[in-house]
């Protein structure tokens, strides 16, 4: 059986790490695309990964390009094209520039990979994934956004660090928009199956919720030039792997809602099942009144950004 094909639109920090991770997992052949000025960078990064195969022993054709013809027929498209934040910037500050990029990329993906499963990473995430789907007109099950997997991974990592336990035994989920209004759900977090509230005092839980909301900014400030890329790359590849291997993982992702959670016509982070059918199902978890209010509050911030996108594309 021919290998699958993954197209990464954007060959920067996240695109590069995703390419190595996808190759090491032997998810398929990989095409990294960027603007013409950075085609050499793509070719160099992909050749470098190809040359690491002698050590890693993974079979994958690695292509760097700026020609959209090279992504033709891709099974999975992951879009990181766009500017990242600098210290002092909010994710929404990126909207003006990145909506133009997403709009252009969406049109080219529609031309060349009409049947792909699309994972959007570019910020501001919830409105960029909305814009991508608006331009492509792809069905909602084939367009989702990567944010909840990252935010949940951050939450779980902070719990594991605080308790000095294996990350393997921490499970949680984070809903809502990818920003300060995101909705971690400590009530649903377990450590070895034990509810977090039985293991950690509320003030420490609150501190972890707050750190999770600010985790992206914390890294932007530490790096000084750009944003997180290892954890976002790993998160997007987890979603792609669930699709390519029909794993039917239950993951938080920005999914298009049509009535679920009482929300209609917007992308927002919710638990979904990702398998060969793409976003196969949105799972409606029962929320407390406070959690519901927090989700609606998060939706309001997303609505503002989406209105901006609708005014432009
Ligand atoms: O959880 C999440 N969704 C976020 C997403 C987590 C972290 C980073 N988040 C966002 O991903 C970040 O705010 C950016 O909007 C994207 C990509 O972040 P990255 O760190 O990879 O940015 P880079 O290193 O600047 O890479 C972006 C690449 C760069 O090489 C540009 O030349 C390219 O995008 N680019 C384009 N490629 C193709 N086509 C067009 N038009 C284009 N414009 C820029």
Which of 121, 145, 169 is the C-terminal boundary of a domain?
A: 145
Distance 69 CA to ligand 1 centre (A): 21
Contact 6, 44 (CB under 8 A): no
What pLDDT does residue 89 have? 84
- 186 lies in the same domain as 300: yes
- 173 lies in the same domain as 115: no
Q: Which residues pair with 83 in a beta bridge?
A: none
What is the model's pTM?
Answer: 0.98
Closest C-alpha to ligand 1, atom 10: 122
Taking residues 148-166, report their average pLDDT. 98
Q: Any alpha helices (H) in 25-62, and if so which ranges?
A: 39-51, 53-56
Closest C-alpha to ligand 1, atom 41: 101
What pLDDT does residue 185 have? 98
Domain count of the fold of the chain:
2
Taking residues 282-293, report their average pLDDT. 98
- 207 lies in the same domain as 79: no
* Alpha carbons 151 and 228: distance in angstroms, whole number: 12
Whether 89 is a known active-site residue: answer: no
Distance 152 CA to ligand 1 centre (A): 21
Domain residues for the domain of 271 are 148-312
Confidence of residue 90 (pLDDT cuts 50, 70, 90): confident
In percent, how much of the chain has pLDDT > 70? 100
Render pLDDT for 97-135 as a digit per residue (tens, 0 to 9): 999 999 999 999 999 999 999 999 999 999 999 999 999
| Among 38, 43, 178, 213, the one annotated catalytic | 178
- 37 lies in the same domain as 137: yes
What pLDDT does residue 297 have? 98
pLDDT greater than 90 at residue 85: no
- 259 lies in the same domain as 129: no
- 163 lies in the same domain as 197: yes
- 160 lies in the same domain as 131: no
- 168 lies in the same domain as 276: yes
- Ligand 1 binding pocket (C-beta < 6 A) is 9-15, 33-35, 38, 80-85, 94, 98, 101, 104-105, 121-123, 125, 146-147, 150, 178, 226-229, 232
What pLDDT does residue 91 have? 83
């Amino acid at each position: 059986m021919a290998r699958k094909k993954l197209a990464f639109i954007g060959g920067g920090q996240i695109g590069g790490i995703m390419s190595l991770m996808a190759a090491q997992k032997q998810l398929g052949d990989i095409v990294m695309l960027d603007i013409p000025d950075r085609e050499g960078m793509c070719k160099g990064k992909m050749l470098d990964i190809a040359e690491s195969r002698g050590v890693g022993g993974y079979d994958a054709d690695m292509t760097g390009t700026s020609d959209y013809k090279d992504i033709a027929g891709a099974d999975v498209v992951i879009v990181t094209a766009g500017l990242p934040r600098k210290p002092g910037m909010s994710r929404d500050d990126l909207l003006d520039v990145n909506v133009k990029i997403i709009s252009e990329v969406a049109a080219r993906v529609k031309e060349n990979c009409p049947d792909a499963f699309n994972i959007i990473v570019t910020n501001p995430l919830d409105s960029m994934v909305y814009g991508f789907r608006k331009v492509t007109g792809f069905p909602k099950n084939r367009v989702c956004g990567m944010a909840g997997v990252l935010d949940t991974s951050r939450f779980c990592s902070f719990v594991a660090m605080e308790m000095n336990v294996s990350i393997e035994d921490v499970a949680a989920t984070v809903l809502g928009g990818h920003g300060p209004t995101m909705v971690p759900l400590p009530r649903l977090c377990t450590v070895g199956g034990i509810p977090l509230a039985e293991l950690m005092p509320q003030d420490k839980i609150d501190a972890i919720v707050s750190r999770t909301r600010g985790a992206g900014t914390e890294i932007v400030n530490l790096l000084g030039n750009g944003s997180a890329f290892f954890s976002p790359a790993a998160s997007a590849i987890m979603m792609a792997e669930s699709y390519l291997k029909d794993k039917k993982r239950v993951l938080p992702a920005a999914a298009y809602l049509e009535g679920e959670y009482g929300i209609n016509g917007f992308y927002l982070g919710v638990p979904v099942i990702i398998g060969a059918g793409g976003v196969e199902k949105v799972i409606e978890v029962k929320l407390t009144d406070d959690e519901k209010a927090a989700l609606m509050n998060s939706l309001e911030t997303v609505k503002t950004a989406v209105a901006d996108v609708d005014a432009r594309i």
